[in-house]
């Protein structure tokens, strides 16, 4: 169900007209629907409950998709844990109330300080990505007199067939341990102090809308679990990662019931606890980025809509050539005049483009637009390039809304700069 649409000619999120948020907080501003977030999370819960008991799986929200504490808190209250990939995300998740026993620490470049924090807090599991990391965890755990549960994140060499910059499961990628090397590393882990190796983890990429790569990866993981058990390893957890795609343009939505059926057929017979790490598919379609048209520019053979939101606010189009639909917040007449525009941002980069050669309702300066499906990897990847303040974030629930990230001031952007005395 979508909680974003037109009502009486105005684009609404739940029961709030989006122009009301723009008037209060200015633009650009991110807006998220609490009901859509809950609806997306419940869809995972329902699909998994259809194939296994509630105590046999944990859904750990991938905080990298959107790390706002209010969103993590909301999902935590619904039963989610957290998948974190940095000390900062771990700190946010703890502050948002996520319990250590529902937290998984992933990522290829964990520092000693980050690992020490995870170990001291007795989190559910660390997903180990290299032999070097394994050695570091063992040393820290022994120093802290802890036994830490680990899983080896294996690279199954399965091509997710998505954008090259978001695939993680082939032998060319930096992520995970070659699946063929995993048995030897498990033998080593069993003999090391401070470690309780009980899991296998896998994550083959992001924005997958085809279940075939999942099926292949799950089969390879299941075969590895069988092999490891034959070597007297006690494997009780399989972490299947995240990566389920969402429709941005014309992609077919992933059928979560079919996804869960793969888990039922391939993983459930192993009698393990299953961890899932969805991110984009929880928060992606729950968010929009509101922006105003600054200028309508007539170029040579081109027309441009120049927005006040730029690639610093939303990096995906410039970084991945990603498509995001854009809607006018005042509904355009069905037979109204249309023009072809490049819809661009104000950043001093040619790549600061949201849509190119887009057939769009004729639009004037000052018009309020909504960049759709912006909840994932929008605010979380935003930055201060060109010394631009970060956009505020707002959470909508029914007919009310509240700021969940305060508007950043220019002073906030520059006040951390330090001019040495010798330059004064």
Catalytic residues: 348
Place of tokens 């190119």: 356
Contacts of 118 by beta carbon, 8 Å cutoff, 6+ apart: 90, 103, 105, 126, 148
Token digits of residue 155: 């690279």
291 φ, ψ to 5°?
Answer: -150, 150
- Of all helices (H) and strands (E), which one includes residue 59? strand 57-62
Place of tokens 């790390």: 67
CA distances from 279 to 40, 67, 166 (A): 10, 10, 14
Contacts of 271 by beta carbon, 8 Å cutoff, 6+ apart: none
Token digits of residue 271: 């009698």
As a whole number of angstroms, the distance between CA 40 and CA 63 comes to 15
The number of beta carbons lying within 10 Å of the beta carbon of residue 234 is 10
Token digits of residue 279: 């991110």
As a whole number of angstroms, the distance between CA 19 and CA 26 comes to 10
- Of all helices (H) and strands (E), which one includes residue 24? helix 18-25
Q: Is there a cis peptide before residue 28, judged by omega within 30 degrees of 0?
A: yes
As a whole number of angstroms, the distance between CA 175 and CA 154 comes to 8
* Rg of the chain over all Cα atoms, to the nearest angstrom: 23
As a whole number of angstroms, the distance between CA 344 and CA 36 comes to 28
The burial class, CB within 10 Å (0-12 / 13-18 / 19+), for 84 is buried
């Amino acid at each position: 169900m979508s909680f974003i649409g037109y009502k009486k000619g105005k684009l609404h999120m739940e029961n709030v007209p989006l122009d009301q948020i723009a008037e209060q907080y200015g633009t650009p501003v991110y807006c998220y629907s609490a009901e859509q977030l809950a609806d997306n999370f419940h869809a995972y819960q329902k699909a998994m409950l259809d194939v296994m008991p509630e105590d046999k799986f944990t859904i750990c929200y991938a905080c990298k998709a959107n790390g706002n504490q209010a969103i993590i808190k909301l999902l935590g209250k619904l039963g989610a844990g957290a998948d974190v990939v940095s000390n900062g995300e771990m700190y946010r998740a703890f502050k948002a109330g996520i319990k250590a026993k529902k937290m998984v620490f992933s990522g290829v470049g964990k520092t000693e300080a980050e690992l020490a924090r995870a170990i001291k807090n007795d989190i559910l599991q660390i997903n180990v990505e290299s032999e070097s990391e394994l050695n570091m965890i063992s040393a820290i755990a022994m120093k802290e007199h802890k036994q830490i549960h680990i899983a080896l994140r294996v690279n199954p060499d399965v091509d997710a067939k998505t954008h090259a910059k978001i695939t993680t499961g082939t032998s060319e990628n930096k992520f995970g341990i070659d699946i063929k090397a995993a048995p030897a590393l498990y033998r080593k882990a069993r003999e090391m102090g401070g470690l309780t190796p009980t899991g296998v983890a896998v994550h083959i990429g992001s924005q997958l809308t085809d279940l075939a790569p999942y099926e292949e990866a799950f089969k390879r993981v299941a075969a590895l679990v069988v092999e490891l058990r034959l070597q007297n390893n006690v494997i009780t957890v399989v972490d299947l990662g995240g990566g389920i795609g969402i429709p941005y343009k014309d992609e077919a939505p992933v059928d979560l019931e079919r996804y869960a059926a793969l888990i039922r057929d391939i993983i459930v017979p192993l009698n393990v606890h299953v961890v899932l790490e969805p991110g984009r598919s929880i928060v992606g379609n729950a968010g929009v980025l509101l922006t105003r048209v600054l200028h309508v520019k007539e170029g040579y053979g081109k027309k441009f809509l120049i927005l006040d939101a730029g690639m610093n606010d939303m990096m995906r189009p410039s970084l991945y050539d990603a498509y995001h639909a854009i809607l006018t917040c005042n509904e355009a007449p069905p037979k109204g005049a249309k023009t072809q525009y490049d819809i661009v941002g104000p950043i001093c980069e040619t790549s600061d483009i949201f849509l190119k050669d887009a057939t769009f309702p004729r639009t004037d300066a000052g018009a309020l637009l909504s960049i759709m499906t912006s909840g994932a990897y929008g605010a979380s990847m935003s930055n201060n390039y060109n010394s631009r303040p970060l956009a505020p974030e707002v959470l909508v629930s029914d007919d009310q809304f509240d700021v969940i990230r305060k508007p950043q001031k220019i002073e906030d952007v520059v006040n951390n700069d330090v001019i040495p005395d010798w330059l004064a």
